[in-house]
Amino acid sequence: MVVAVSTGRRQTVLVAATALVVTAVALAFLALRPLGAATPTEAATRYESESGAAARVLTDREWGEGRHVLVRTRRGGRTYLSLSFVADTGRGWRVVRRAVEESDPSDIVVGSLLLASAPASDGQPAWTAAFGELSHPDIAVVEILWADGTSGRSDRTGDAYLVVAPGSRTAIEARFLDPQGVEVARVPASGANPAPSPPDPGTPPPG
């Protein structure tokens, strides 16, 4: 009888010790995980600025469990627009998906039209985005016409716009409208939507 009690106590001690080890390993793992940013915009600009580039947030939109953040980056005498999907991974906000397109301000007469898309993953529904910069002072709204006959709109934010639609879509054109809804110009879409890949933290933006 004494032996049985002793064995049970030993098992209890072993189980408790094992639980403590597992807890310690879990805490060590969390401690080793890199910290993310405090905000979505900080996460997007931090990714760019870590390579020495000058980054500025143009606009952002909530999407799924995260946000899309549009950033203008100047590096090596060139200008880029990067659209990042950022999510809270439990230890701060981090870039999950990112698309980068070079933007030449001298080519933007009224506004630019850039496209990106991504499948559903990492807390985000599948999406297709149209975004760009605006140089014409009369532009107040940008309307994107999709191939399925639907359209999406974005108000001007500073000198940029961002339209995000659910699912995989093909853009036909962008219509640039003044405050009264009068069309100032339209830009046809060309080429397929580039799909952004998960970012490699060790790879700086092109430059």
**Residue 104: which pLDDT band, with cuts at 50, 70 and 90?**
confident
Residue 23 pLDDT more than 70?
no
**Bridge partners, residue 153, by sequence:** 143
First-to-last C-alpha distance (Å) of the chain: 77
Residue 157 pLDDT more than 90?
yes
Q: Is residue 103 within 8 Å of residue 127, measured between CB atoms?
A: no
Which token pair is 68? 């899309």
Residue 43 pLDDT more than 50?
yes
Q: Is residue 162 within 8 Å of residue 132, measured between CB atoms?
A: no
% of the chain exceeding 70 in pLDDT: 73
If one counts every other C-beta atom within 10 angstroms of the C-beta of residue 27, the result is 10
- CA distance linking residue 90 with residue 109, whole number of Å: 43
* Cα-based distances in Å from 18 to 5, 10, 29, 70, 196: 20, 12, 17, 47, 43
Q: Give me the mean pLDDT over the 36-59 stretch.
A: 85
Would you give the DSSP letter of residue 150? -
**Bridge partners, residue 38, by sequence:** none
